Each structure stands twice: as C-alpha cells, then as structure tokens.
A and B are shown apart, each in its own frame.
Chain A
Amino acid sequence: MPLNRRAFIGTGAAAAAMLSAPMLGAQGKPRVVVVGGGAGGATAARYLAKDSDGAIDVTLVEPTRAYYTCFFSNLYIGGFRELSSIGHSYGTLASDYGINVVHDWAVGIDRNAKTVTLAGGAVLPYDRLVLSPGIDFIEDSVPGWSTAQQNKMPHAYKAGSQTELLKAQIEAMPEGGLYAMVAPPNPFRCPPGPYERVSMVAHLLKEINPTAKILIADPKPKFSKQALFEEGWQKHYGGMIERIGPDFGGGNVSVNPDEMTVDIDGVVENVSVCNVIPAQKAGRICDMAGINEGNWAPVVPATMQSRMDENIHVLGDATDQGDMPKSGYSANSQAKVAAMAIRGALTGAKVFPAKFSNTCWSLIDTDDGVKVGASYQATEEKIAKVDGFISETGEDSALRKATYEESLGWYAGITEDMFG
C-alpha cells in the first residue's frame, strides 16, 4: 500500500494490538520470525501468513515504519517518481494478514536457544528464522570513505533519506559541475543499478544543468546491460558521461570527503557531488548469527536454508546462492520458495519443486526502458541459470516505451506482493 498518513496510523494501531496478543493466541502454534521487511522478508512473512491460514505465528521485525524500495529509487532521482510513491508501510500485513509487525532492530541471535533478541530488549523465540537483512557496506573498501562520511558523499544504495540527499546535492551542483560515482566491485546489490542511476542523473542534469559532467570510476571491466546503457548514453546524453574502467585506473580510487576530491589512479579531481557505492556484504545480522562464509551467507538452493543452520532461511542480497543477481525481484522469488519449504516443515504442507526467476528493468531516459531476465533452478551446488533474455540494442521506441510501462506494472505488482 502506498504511504500515507492513514497507513501509518494503521500500522501503529495494528502492531500495538498484535503485540499484546500473540503469546496467548499462539500457544502451540509453530513460530516463524522474519528479520528484515524488504522484498525478501515482507514477501516471506506475507506468504507464510496467507498460505498457512493462521496455522503459523508470523512475526516480522523491521526497524523502519516507512520502507522505501531501492528499486525505482533511481527514478525518483531522475524526476520520474515522487519519493512518497516508493514508500510503503506495514499496515496491511498487520491488519489483514495477522502478522505481528515489530519495528525494532534485531541485535542478537541465539541459535541453540532459537531466539532473536531485539534492541528494545524483547526476546522472540522461533521454530524457523528467516533472515532477509539486505546489504551492509565494507568499511575502508573505498579509502577515505566511511559510513560516518555518508552525508558528504552519499551512497544512496539504501533508499530513503540517502536518496533524497543525493538528489538535493545534484540539484545544488554549480553550473558545469562534476558528479562522480565510485562504482562497486562484484558482487553487489542490483547489477544494473549504478548505471541506471547514472542515466537518471544525466536526465536530471540535462534539464537543470546541461553543461555538467558525469564521471564513473569503475573497478569492473564490464557491467550488466553495458551495450544498452552505452548506446543510450550516446543517444540521449552525448558527451556528458565518462567511465573509467580498471584498464585506466578505475579500480584505484580514494576520496577525500572534506576536500570534495576524488583521486583516480593518481589524478585528483575536484567534484561537486560524489556518490560512493562501496563494496558490500550481507547485512550484519548474518555475521552476528555466525552463518556467513566470507561476506555472504551460503544457502541450500532448493529451500534457501542456511548451510550453517537448518532452522534459519536466508533470502535476497545477503545470500551466496549462485547465479541469481542480488535484486528485489530475486529476493521476492526466493521468499516464495522459502515460505513453501517452511510451511512444509512446520505444518506438513505440500512442497513443490523450487523455481526461481528474475527480471531487472532499467530506465535510460524518458520512455526508454530496457530489461534483462532469467529463470533459474536448483542444482546440488547452487541456484543455476537455465534460460534468459535481454533487450537488444537498436530497438524501436515503441518497444522501449512498452518495456518502461511494463516496469511500472511490475512495480505495482511486486509491492502488492510484498505489502499486501
């Protein structure tokens, strides 16, 4: 449901009502705690509650009352969406699905006792735990930058105030100023995301500051939809965007947020805006739970169970699962598989073969949408890509417009699928 005042009131009231009730009403019912209310967690909570018809006691732990989707946040930067249109509340999940929505941080997991501890002190017991915490940033991955500097050099890679800040900084750029992006190394959330963002920044600058320039420092030799983006940049924003790949030192970058400078392979640039998207790792609760291997949480492909603990399922960006890109669509797809597996384990519901899919739409300019998608299946070893498609260069404008409109439909669909 879109964010509005009434939705907020709904969440508060419903959550308060549910909080007072569950331990009485839920005696003997299997309990699932879901940590993280994004594309993975909200979907998992909703499907568990909906499909178990009240047979499972579902608690969703999410710190924010207003959730802003990372997907479509670039469109806000480009001026195609209002920020409020990508904000969502948990009111319907609480009121219509009976999910116990708790707005708090999960700060500890006791895997032996099977409990989650919240910052507010509550201890939630679980039979199955779902962790869908998204990403955190690896400190020092961009020398000179730390999360303490994120208001000078925003990442805007978790949507909300950071996205607003980045847009405001772009709007305040001096005439002919320079916007720099430090692009992340693989793997990271939303593979086409940084490049869609550059497209949206260019769209905004073309309107308000047409002599401004965009510089991307990129540690990766190639990126998703590269031919499509480069074609579009040439067509719509000729000469505005320059990308420095690893061959020319794009991977050898440091920043100075106080001086507003970026050093790319020894060449220091003064910048008006610097969008630092650091290297990423699983949201920190996975590390606290001790289920990471390296930076990510490995999972069993067919059920999304942690390979370290069969009572924990991990979803979305935080996982190491194989071929699926870290995307909201992927997390939503994985959540349905996990919800089915959990219902099978806790209530004896039928378990069907896992199927996964993903599509990533990107907007390059007004009515110029492109997409890449694939279907995936579990192998013993990983979730493996078995089929896929991508938009082609040179497509006609009617098809590109239809692709963009399709993405609007998808946004409406997936957010209803997440939040009810």
Chain B
Amino acid sequence: MTGWMSRASGAAVLVAFTAVTARAEAIGDAERGEELFGMCAGCHEVGRGAENGIGPHLNGIFGRKAASAGEDYPYSEGLERAGADGLEWHLRTLDAYIENPKALVSGTRMNFDGLDDPQERADILAYLRRFSDDPQNIPEADPTARAPEVELPPEVLAMVGDPEYGEYLSSECKTCHQADGSDEGIPSITNWPAEDFVVAMHAYKQKLRPHPVMQMMAGRLTDAEIAALAAYFGELE
C-alpha cells in the first residue's frame, strides 16, 4: 500500500484523455434483432396490441416474473414452477433461456432448439428490450445497455492516481457527501485517509459492504479510478 500511495501522489503523468471513451454498449443491434425475431414470431407476439398466442406475448418481458403473462396463458408446469421459485426475466436469464430453453427450465413447452450465436441472441434481446418499461419513466426498469468492461490501454494507466481525474469523479460523491464534513444521515468522507478510502471502495465494489447506492457507485469504478479518487481525497488533507 505504501508503494501504491507514493506512486499515486507522484503521478502527474497526464495523457490526452479525450480519446478514451467509456461508452456503454447497447445490448445488441435491435434492427438486426427485429429481423432475427422472425424465427420467434410464429409463436410470440410483441409490440402494440400483442396478445398471447401459441406462446405468451413478450411485451414487458424484461423484469417480468416467469410464467406471469396473464392467467389465460397455459404455461407448462416446469415454467410455472420456475416462476414460483423466483425466476425473473432479465438480460442474463433471457439469454440463457434462448441459448438453450431446456437447460434453464426443464419441461418447458417452448419448442425451440436454442440459438448458439451470442451476438444473434444479443440482437434479439436488444429488439425485445424496446417493448419493456422505459427507465426514464420507471427508473427501476431493467438496464438498456451493458456497462463496458474496459481494459484501459497502457497510456491511460499512466494516469493512475491522477488527482485531477479524482476531482472530477469526486463531484459524483459530493451530491450526497458534503465537502464541509457534515454527516447528517450520510457519513462524511472528507479528510478520510486515502488507504481507508481505497479499501472501502473495493469492499463496496465486491459487495462485501452492504449499501446499494455505494455498491452501485463503486461497482463501476475501475481500479485506476478508485486510485484517482483516493489521490484527490489524499491531497485534500
């Protein structure tokens, strides 16, 4: 830790950062997904006015409990049981289901051999996501993109512990944690030793510490970003 600290405080090596894009990726190509959905459309309807047919309709499928598209649809016992056991349709479970339906739900009546190509599955799911709740209106609705798992290129790693980057990142902390150290309802993080800071962020990131807001905030910080934050807060001392 000592070595890391000295590296962080000494690192003023800066790179042109504008070139780095931490853009999230869409789930897939929804346009292509619409074409691929042709293989599903014999049984499943989706979109305005979609109804249960041979298969259940797929409006609102993201976030839906398995086997819950209306009482009029005769689900298999296997899918009913999966729903009762708590299976919910999200990106991960839907992807597994269309990769191999019977692997996820024994006894499902969905007569589909499965789709091997991960990109094709992603494209179909991107298309289907359009017909579920919009997070702008229902903030708890399922994500519409995947967070990039960025492998930062070496030139970017040179900015490990960049306090200027830390200052920008810290602006997100300051929405809740007051710079003057007030701690009403939300703990103060001002003048927190950098080492404690780093350890705590990693504990949230690994979901060892229990707070949903902090798990989410820390969960998307890269190691370099946590280091930058620590360098910034360290400099405040």
Q: A residues near B, CB below 8 A?
A: 47, 51, 186-187, 191-192, 220, 222-225, 302, 322-326, 329, 332-333, 336, 340, 344, 350-355, 357-360, 371-382, 384-390, 405-410, 412-414, 416-417
Contacts and interface: CB of A to CB of B under 8 A. Distances in A.
Nearest to B167: A51
A372 B172 contact: no
B183 interface: yes
Nearest to A389: B212
A385 B185 contact: no
Interface of B: 14, 17-18, 20-26, 133-148, 164-165, 167-169, 171-172, 174-180, 182-186, 212-213, 215-217, 219-220
| Interface core residue of B20, B135, B177, B184 (most chain A CB under 10 Å) | B135
Contact of B169 (A220, A352, A385, A405): A352
B178 A416 contact: yes
B134 A329 contact: no
B127 to A, nearest CB: 14
B138 A332 contact: no
B25 A379 contact: yes
Contacts of B18: 344, 350-351
Nearest to A380: B23
A80 to B, nearest CB: 13
A384 B213 contact: no
Contacts of B133: 222
Nearest to A340: B168
Contact of A373 (B144, B145, B212, B220): B212
Given A375-B217, A377-B148, A413 B138 contact: no
A353 B147 CA distance: 13
A354 B20 CA distance: 11
Contact of B138 (A224, A350, A384): A224
B175 A224 contact: no
B165 A374 contact: no
Contacts of A372: 139-140
A389 B216 contact: yes
A1 to B, nearest CB: 12
A326 B165 contact: no
A409 B176 contact: yes
A409 B171 contact: no
B17 A384 contact: no
Say whether chain B's binding surface is mostly helix, strand, loop, or mixed. loop
B172 A333 contact: yes
B20 to A, nearest CB: 6
Nearest to B18: A351
7 contacts: A333-B172, A344-B18, A350-B165, A378-B24, A387-B147, A413-B175, A414-B176
B216 A377 contact: no
A386 B23 CA distance: 11
Given A222-B138, A379-B25, A381-B26, A386 B171 contact: no
A333 B175 contact: yes
B184 A408 contact: yes
Contacts of A376: 24
A323 B144 contact: yes
Contacts of A410: 175-176, 185-186
A409 B184 contact: yes
A302 B169 contact: no
A33 B94 CA distance: 47
Contact of B145 (A51, A377, A408): A377
A360 B147 CA distance: 21
Contacts of A323: 134-136, 144
A409 B185 contact: yes
Contact of B20 (A353, A374, A382): A353
A357 B216 contact: yes
A384 B24 contact: yes
B143 A387 contact: yes
A191 B164 CA distance: 35
B133 to A, nearest CB: 7
Contacts of A386: 24, 143, 145-147, 220
A47 B220 CA distance: 23
Nearest to B219: A387
A371 B177 CA distance: 17
Contacts of A350: 14, 17-18, 164-165
Given A47-B171, A350-B14, A191 B139 contact: yes
Contacts of A192: 139
A417 B174 contact: yes
Contact of A191 (B17, B138, B144, B167): B138
Contacts of A322: 136, 144
A223 to B, nearest CB: 7
Contacts of B24: 376-379, 384, 386
Given A323-B144, A385-B144, A413 B171 contact: no
B185 A406 contact: yes
Given A377-B220, A390-B139, 15 more contacts: A191-B136, A192-B139, A223-B138, A302-B23, A323-B135, A326-B136, A336-B168, A353-B17, A374-B216, A378-B23, A384-B26, A386-B145, A386-B220, A387-B143, A412-B184
A385 B143 contact: yes
B136 A384 contact: no
A360 B212 CA distance: 13
A378 B212 CA distance: 22
Nearest to A359: B213
Contact of A388 (B14, B22, B136, B216): B216
B176 A413 contact: yes
Given A379-B23, A413-B174, A373 B213 contact: yes
A344 B165 CA distance: 13
Nearest to B147: A386
